[in-house]
């Protein structure tokens, strides 16, 4: 692992309150999977089976825990979640499968559950055989320590090159009853579109059945975790799971089993907000990041085209290095629009940095001021706006700048 | 422009001889388009109309000279080629079109040709209006200075962030007559797949008709310029043109008008070699490059799948920073194979660094030696081999490592 990096200048200035959620307890421990002197394993323990939904990496080489979770999701019930950092248990062949099965079996035995009710995720080095021993030996202490207010410790235990723990929370009415949504995430590199992020776990006491949860999650992820990128590299391990304990039913919250239920409107907005908050925090903690970048595309032929153009801009090393260098190099935005392969009218293209229109109708804006643009580029958050001039579809995505620190962090991550 | 960069450590140790080609003369000059104290414009002058073929960027925002050349290619005859560095004349609206037309008109008048017989290319900053004045004023001196052995000077005049001029040459029999193929190229950043490189111009005295030349070029480019990447960013200006003066006909070379003519076999191989040589030189001069990387993919379902997987590896910032850090981080190769979205058998995957098999059948090779792998990573040329285990198709692509110098060069290119 690289030497400790100072906290990202883009980190939130304070952490939100994380109100305890009935029915789930958390613990973190130092199992010594790879790191020493820090926590590296977390447990979430559900007092009764929770409803669970998830989305995973689209990698053709997924990790053993991703395969495990995909299979376990069929039943849609969770009693525990075990997550470690330091080793991704990816590309570890049949030994990786054995490790995952062993952790599930030991956890299930200890709590009187079925192995398929134990969800798992692992993050860290790829291709290193992972011994289940350290995690199994840490289990008794984790089970004893689990408590309702342990989520922040859990968020810290799953960090790798992250410089801050990522947490988000929302309270919202379901029927007449207030329910809570708490989420955590980790991820700083190997972050790319069309997937969930490295790891994110969301917990709620709302009584929502697994199929409805799954539908909510799929819709929400398109505009949150699937709208961020750090380096265009899709991980083998990306996992986003949401667990609903249903404990709010005892307080009179309605039980929901259809994602089209109109009573879900507020919950849906709150979930979108929590996921977007977590996803943006991942981009804000992108390896080496000093600028947070929002890309807004309008005037595209379709939503899909808008997003592809936005991602072409957000993934362009030349755009990202220009932002890092505080250079208002909008010509590189033109390049990125051009390479996206989607319909665009060169001679109708408008480009904005923040509120400054730098290009209009296919050429430099007549009112363009290099001094104004340069002053804008000194901000910590840079908004790049593009109108491609062919339709009405829009998209927003988020990323960070590309700096020498990204190269430094990734030139010696393993050593 | 960034401060002068030292010559890439991957530059060829010597330049090849460039034997003069009958029927074409070259000149370079200092027009002052943007740079001072160096040449920035080149002229190629054909004594009689040359046959011409070309391929261009697939950008949806192509430069004005790219639009100009595409239109001019319909006639397939060239009397002159004018190329400048310092300004790409891209995203310059109708002013850009006017500039291109003005350069063509002035050149054509001076040599008694039609404007459509004047080919053009521009490379440099995007979005900056380009005044034709400096080029037009430089024309008389260029016309007077043009000489058969001026190609190396021309190669230097079109450099931007390049650290060395890129030239390649071949002599080959066409029928019983020896013909020559000379080529030049420029490009170091904004280099990505599915296109020609930034700029490359190839000249031959072989009497080959434009449609046959075009067919030869299209086939050859897929395994040369379309098989390299520096930073995944496709330029607005990529242009590859080949000019055939036909002068070898006077020495008895057969006139060829069909690309399936069996007499072309040797010429085709020689052309492939020249284009591959130039394309690899572009990757060797990738901005900030210290390592030249060859990616070989085998065992893929189709040629297209093999190339997509190879490009996913070659474009991965995490693979490229690992090579830059001399870290044998083959887990990132697994990640890149996984994200390519093509069929791959995780549990049959083999990965090689040079001759060292580091992963076998979906996990770390039992004979893997970190010491051997680390020693290999110190080489200047790194060969990453992957067998994806599902079929028989193969592909090879070339790139360079990602270093802090890439970030430095691109953080202040405009300033």
CATH, residue A205: 3.60.70.12
Which of B235, B324, B341 has its CB closest to that of A60?
B341
Supply the pLDDT for residue A197: 43
> From the candidates A190, A237, A317, A364, which should be mutated to test the interface with B, based on the most B CB atoms within 10 A?
A317
| Stretch A374-380: mean pLDDT | 94
Q: Residue A253: pLDDT band by 50, 70, 90 thresholds?
A: very high
Q: Which residues of B touch A90 (CB under 8 A)?
A: 331, 334
Q: How far is A170 from chain B (nearest CA, A)?
A: 33
Least confident of B36-45, B142-151, B360-369: B360-369
What's the pTM value of the predicted model, to 2 decimals? 0.80
Supply the pLDDT for residue B1: 39
Q: Residue A2: pLDDT band by 50, 70, 90 thresholds?
A: very low
Question: Residue B222: which domain range?
Answer: 24-284
Given A284, A316, A331, the domain boundary residue is A284
**Residue A72 predicted with pLDDT over 80:** yes
| Total domain count, chain B | 2
Residue with tokens 């008048």: B109
Given B284, B306, B340, the domain boundary residue is B284
| pLDDT tens-digit series, residues A46-60 | 999 999 988 888 777
Residue A145's alpha-carbon distances to A30, A110, A115, A142, B78, in angstroms, are 13, 14, 21, 5, 80
Q: Please indicate whether, in this complex, the C-beta atoms of A411 and B327 are within 8 angstroms of each other.
A: yes
| A12 domain-assigned | no
Which of B190, B321, B411 has its CB closest to that of A324?
B411
Chain B contact for A192, CB < 8 A? Answer: yes
| pLDDT tens-digit series, residues B205-254 | 999 999 999 999 888 888 888 777 766 666 677 788 888 999 999 999 99
| A1 domain-assigned | no
Percent of chain B residues topping a pLDDT of 70: 93
Which residues lie across from A45 on neighbouring strands?
A: A25, A80
Chain A contact for B129, CB < 8 A? Answer: yes
Q: Residue A3: pLDDT band by 50, 70, 90 thresholds?
A: very low
**Residue B191 predicted with pLDDT over 60:** no
Judge if A262 and A204 occupy the same domain.
yes
Given B234, B268, B284, the domain boundary residue is B284
Supply the pLDDT for residue A189: 63
**Residue B32 predicted with pLDDT over 50:** yes
Return the H-helix or E-strand segment holding B298: strand B292-300
Contact B44, B94 (CB under 8 A): no
Chain B contact for A301, CB < 8 A? Answer: no
Supply the pLDDT for residue A188: 66
Supply the pLDDT for residue B4: 53
Q: What is the mean pLDDT of chain B?
A: 88
| Stretch B314-321: mean pLDDT | 89
| B382 domain-assigned | yes
Which of B317, B330, B359 has its CB closest to that of A233?
B317
Q: How far is A311 from chain B (nearest CA, A)?
A: 12
Supply the pLDDT for residue A191: 56
Q: How far is B100 from chain A (nearest CA, A)?
A: 16
Q: Please indicate whether, in this complex, the C-beta atoms of A318 and B189 are within 8 angstroms of each other.
A: yes
Higher pLDDT, A410 or A321: A321
Q: Please indicate whether, in this complex, the C-beta atoms of B338 and A93 are within 8 angstroms of each other.
A: no
| Stretch A402-408: mean pLDDT | 85
Percent of chain B residues topping a pLDDT of 90: 55
Q: How far is B253 from chain A (nearest CA, A)?
A: 41
Q: Please indicate whether, in this complex, the C-beta atoms of A330 and B127 are within 8 angstroms of each other.
A: yes
Q: Which residues of B touch A61 (CB under 8 A)?
A: 334-335, 337-338, 344, 346, 349
What tokens appear for A262 in the block?
């109109």
Q: Residue B412: pLDDT band by 50, 70, 90 thresholds?
A: low
Q: Residue B188: pLDDT band by 50, 70, 90 thresholds?
A: low
Supply the pLDDT for residue B197: 43
Judge if A253 and A321 occupy the same domain.
no
Q: Residue A332: pLDDT band by 50, 70, 90 thresholds?
A: confident
Higher pLDDT, A31 or B340: A31
| pLDDT tens-digit series, residues A6-24 | 788 888 888 889 999 999 9
Q: Please indicate whether, in this complex, the C-beta atoms of A346 and B61 are within 8 angstroms of each other.
A: yes
Judge if B186 and B215 occupy the same domain.
yes
Least confident of A219-233, A305-319, B75-89: A219-233
| Stretch A157-177: mean pLDDT | 88
Judge if A262 and A354 occupy the same domain.
no
CB atoms within 10 A of CB A112: 7
Contact A128, A251 (CB under 8 A): no
Chain A contact for B90, CB < 8 A? Answer: yes
Judge if B236 and B324 occupy the same domain.
no
| Active-site hit among B197, B229, B234, B245 | B197
| B17 domain-assigned | no
Nearest CA in chain B to A127: B331
Which of B91, B234, B332 has its CB closest to that of A362?
B91
Judge if A276 and A335 occupy the same domain.
no
* Cα distance between residue B382 and residue B206, in whole Å: 37
| Active-site hit among A39, A100, A123, A197 | A197
Closest by CA position to A233, among listed B402, B252, B386 = B402
| B16 domain-assigned | no
Chain B contact for A331, CB < 8 A? Answer: yes
Closest by CA position to A19, among listed A228, A274, A268, A262 = A274
Higher pLDDT, A2 or B114: B114
Judge if A302 and A276 occupy the same domain.
no
Supply the pLDDT for residue B235: 67
| A200 domain-assigned | yes
Supply the pLDDT for residue A1: 39
Least confident of A56-60, A149-153, A173-177: A56-60
| Burial label, B71 (beta-carbon count in 10 A; 0-12, 13-18, 19+) | exposed
Q: Please indicate whether, in this complex, the C-beta atoms of A334 and B236 are within 8 angstroms of each other.
A: yes
Q: Which residues of A touch B399 (CB under 8 A)?
A: none
Least confident of A148-152, A247-251, B287-291: B287-291
Q: Please indicate whether, in this complex, the C-beta atoms of B346 and A61 are within 8 angstroms of each other.
A: yes
Q: Which long-range contacts (CB under 8 A, 24 or more apart) does B181-185 make?
A: B181/B206, B181/B267, B181/B270, B181/B271, B181/B274, B182/B18, B182/B19, B182/B21, B182/B151, B182/B274, B183/B274, B183/B275, B183/B277, B183/B278, B184/B151, B184/B154, B184/B155, B184/B158, B184/B278, B185/B155, B185/B278, B185/B279, B185/B281, B185/B282
Judge if B122 and B267 occupy the same domain.
yes
| A330 domain-assigned | yes
| Stretch A242-251: mean pLDDT | 92
Judge if A274 and A342 occupy the same domain.
no
Judge if A391 and A254 occupy the same domain.
no
Judge if A31 and A154 occupy the same domain.
yes
Q: Residue B189: pLDDT band by 50, 70, 90 thresholds?
A: low
Q: How many CB pairs under 8 A join A and B?
A: 226
Residues 152-191 of A with CB under 8 A from B: 189-190
| pLDDT tens-digit series, residues B88-145 | 898 888 899 999 999 999 999 999 999 999 999 998 888 889 999 999 999 999 999 9
Q: Is residue A302 annotated as part of the catalytic site, yes or no?
A: no
Judge if B270 and B395 occupy the same domain.
no
Which of B236, B332, B407 has its CB closest to that of A407?
B407
Supply the pLDDT for residue A28: 96
| A349 domain-assigned | yes
Which of A236, A330, A344 has its CB closest to that of B338?
A236
Q: How far is B306 from chain A (nearest CA, A)?
A: 14
DSSP secondary structure letter of residue B8: P
What tokens appear for B325 in the block?
């850090």
């Amino acid at each position: 692992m690289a030497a400790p990096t100072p906290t990202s200048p883009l980190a939130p200035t304070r952490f939100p309150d994380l109100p305890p959620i009935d029915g789930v307890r958390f613990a973190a421990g130092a199992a010594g999977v790879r790191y020493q002197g820090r926590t590296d394993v977390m447990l979430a323990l559900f007092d009764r089976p929770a409803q669970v939904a998830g989305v995973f990496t689209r990698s053709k080489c997924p990790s053993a825990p991703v395969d495990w979770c995909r299979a376990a999701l069929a039943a849609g019930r969770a009693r525990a979640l075990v997550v470690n950092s330091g080793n991704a248990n990816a590309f570890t062949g049949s030994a990786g499968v054995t490790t995952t099965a062993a952790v599930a079996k030991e956890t299930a035995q200890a709590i009187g559950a079925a192995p398929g009710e134990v969800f798992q995720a692992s993050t860290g080095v790829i291709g290193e055989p992972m011994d289940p021993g350290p995690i199994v030996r840490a289990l008794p202490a984790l089970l004893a320590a689990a408590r309702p207010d342990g989520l922040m410790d859990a968020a810290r235990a799953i960090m790798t090159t992250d410089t801050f723990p990522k947490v988000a929370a929302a309270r919202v009415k379901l029927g007449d009853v207030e329910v809570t949504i708490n989420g955590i995430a980790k991820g700083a590199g190997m972050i790319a579109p069309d997937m969930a992020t490295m790891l994110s776990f969301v917990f709620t006491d709302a009584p929502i059945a697994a199929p409805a949860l799954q539908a909510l999650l799929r819709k929400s992820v398109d505009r949150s975790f699937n709208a961020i990128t750090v380096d265009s590299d899709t991980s083998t391990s990306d996992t986003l799971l949401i667990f609903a304990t249903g404990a709010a039913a005892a307080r009179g919250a309605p039980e929901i089993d259809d994602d089209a239920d109109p009573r879900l409107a507020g919950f849906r907005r709150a979930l979108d907000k929590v996921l977007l908050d977590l996803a943006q925090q991942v981009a804000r903690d992108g390896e080496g990041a000093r600028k947070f970048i929002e890309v807004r595309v309008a005037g595209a032929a379709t939503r899909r085209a808008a997003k592809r153009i936005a991602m072409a801009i957000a993934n362009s090393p030349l755009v990202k290095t220009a932002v890092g260098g505080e250079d208002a190099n909008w010509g590189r935005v033109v390049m990125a629009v051009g390479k996206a392969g989607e319909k665009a009218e060169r001679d109708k293209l408008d480009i904005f940095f923040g509120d400054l229109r730098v290009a209009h109708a296919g050429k430099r804006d007549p009112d363009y001021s290099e001094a104004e643009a340069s002053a804008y580029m000194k901000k910590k958050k840079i908004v790049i706006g593009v109108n491609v001039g062919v339709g009405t579809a829009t998209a927003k995505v988020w990323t960070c700048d590309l700096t020498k620190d990204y190269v430094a962090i990734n030139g010696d991550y393993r050593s």
